[in-house]
Amino acid sequence: MVFVVGAVAIDLVAVKEKFLEGTSNPSDIRLGLGGVGYRIFSNLDAPRKFITALANDPISRWAREALEADDGVAIQRVREKDAGPPLYLALMESGSLKVAASDFRIVEQSLSVSFVVEQIGEPGPRDFLILDANLSPAVLADLARRYSASTRAIVEPVSVEKAARHADALQDLFLLTPTEEEMAALAGGSPQDYRRARRIGSLLVTLGRRGVRLYDDEGEEAISPTLVVDAPDTTGAGDLLLASLVSRVHAGEGVRTAVRGAMQAVEQRLQAGDPL
């Protein structure tokens, strides 16, 4: 079983070759269901369960109706009047993220440890627990500490700011998946030294078009993509990579082999122009 704990969001993504600052930009604007936790969950090819929180505003109700069509979803319903919908806004310029903004206060303030524990129960050593960093620092730290010894715990840092605020909890993990920028915010020195000091089984640093760099007990390995795709929108590529990697490891592959297969899965999806 793969448990994913984190955010679902309404994604609003504007796509353009070049944005002009200080003025309105006619763009290709796409609306859909997203969020790091949800995208990882939706791309898993393994028994799975997604745990999140939503309020009762119209946007959240729309997201909840879409989620409740899947049996593998548990939603902590929040009734406070001031709990707004989870939103993600991004500008994609020539296939790369120019800037993004997110509002996941509903998950940060409302998703409780007790609700998550109730949904997870006692996972086994072959199960996975994926925590996305949209959780509050206290909740993520509690869950990581509670489950890292009994199951394969993974943290997806989400952003530079959120990686930094969860820094103290990032230890005793099966896998950590920062971007190059997030890794720099976490450690000024060697990623391999950081991995060893934090007792992290595998550290996978994503480098965008340049592929990934994997650090584990076997050493350090740079893995380049077999195909570089000029896609106008790469939102969710990292989430698909992690979902595919975990699915492959769940099926019995080693992490190093699974990384290569996961990279090819992302490349094929981008080349086909399919949503991530």
DSSP for 50-70, written as a single string: EEEEE-SSHHHHHHHHHHTTS
Average pLDDT for residues 72-82, to the nearest whole number? 77
Average pLDDT for residues 58-73, to the nearest whole number? 87
- Report the alpha-carbon distance of residue 30 to residue 64 in Å, rounded: 19
56 close to 78: Cβ distance less than 8 angstroms: yes
Considering only CA atoms, which of 239, 249, 247, 265 is closest in space to residue 8?
A: 239
Q: What are phi and psi of 213, to 5 degrees?
A: -130, 125
DSSP 179: B
Q: With cut-offs at 50, 70 and 90, classify the pLDDT of residue 169.
A: very high
- Report the alpha-carbon distance of residue 242 to residue 154 in Å, rounded: 10
Q: Give residue-wise pLDDT tens across range 138-166.
A: 999 999 999 999 999 999 999 999 999 99
Average pLDDT along the chain: 92
Q: With cut-offs at 50, 70 and 90, classify the pLDDT of residue 83.
A: low
Average pLDDT for residues 46-64, to the nearest whole number? 91
Residue 201 amino acid letter:
G
CATH number given to 2-16+29-272: 3.40.1190.20
pLDDT of residue 117: 96
Q: Give residue-wise pLDDT tens across range 30-49.
A: 999 999 999 999 999 999 99
Q: Where does residue 27 rank: exposed (0-12), middle (13-18), buried (19+ CB within 10 A)?
A: middle
pLDDT of residue 56: 84
pLDDT of residue 150: 95
Q: With cut-offs at 50, 70 and 90, classify the pLDDT of residue 225.
A: confident
Residue 273 amino acid letter:
G
240 close to 266: Cβ distance less than 8 angstroms: yes
Strands 96-103 and 48-54: unpaired
**Taking the mean position of all CA atoms in its chain, how far away is CA 150?**
21
Q: With cut-offs at 50, 70 and 90, classify the pLDDT of residue 226.
A: confident
